Amino acid sequence: MIFSETHDFYDVDLFFICAILFALKMIAMNISYMVLGFIDDLFSINIHSEY
């Protein structure tokens, strides 16, 4: 009984770890897209200012 309880807890813990890692991956992708868009805006502003 104790073994099964710890096993269920381990499965739930592993599920939460996977969910947190997935959320962190999505947040990192969103931040990278925002940074790339910001850099793209800076380059476009620099190009427009040169011309």
pLDDT in tens, 2-48: 555 666 666 778 889 999 999 999 999 999 999 999 988 888 877 66
Question: Looking at residue 9, what is its pLDDT?
Answer: 61
The reply to whether 3 falls in a domain is: no
The reply to whether 1 falls in a domain is: no
**Structural domain for 23, as ranges:** 18-51
Could you tell me the two tokens for 16?
């939460």
The reply to whether 45 falls in a domain is: yes
The reply to whether 24 falls in a domain is: yes
The reply to whether 43 falls in a domain is: yes
Whole-angstrom distance, CA of residue 41 vs CA of residue 32: 14
Could you tell me the two tokens for 11?
């499965």
Looking at the 3D structure of the chain, how many domains does it have?
A: 1
Question: Looking at residue 19, what is its pLDDT?
Answer: 93
Question: Looking at residue 1, what is its pLDDT?
Answer: 46
Does pLDDT of 51 surpass 70? no
Q: Is the pTM of this model over 0.75?
A: no
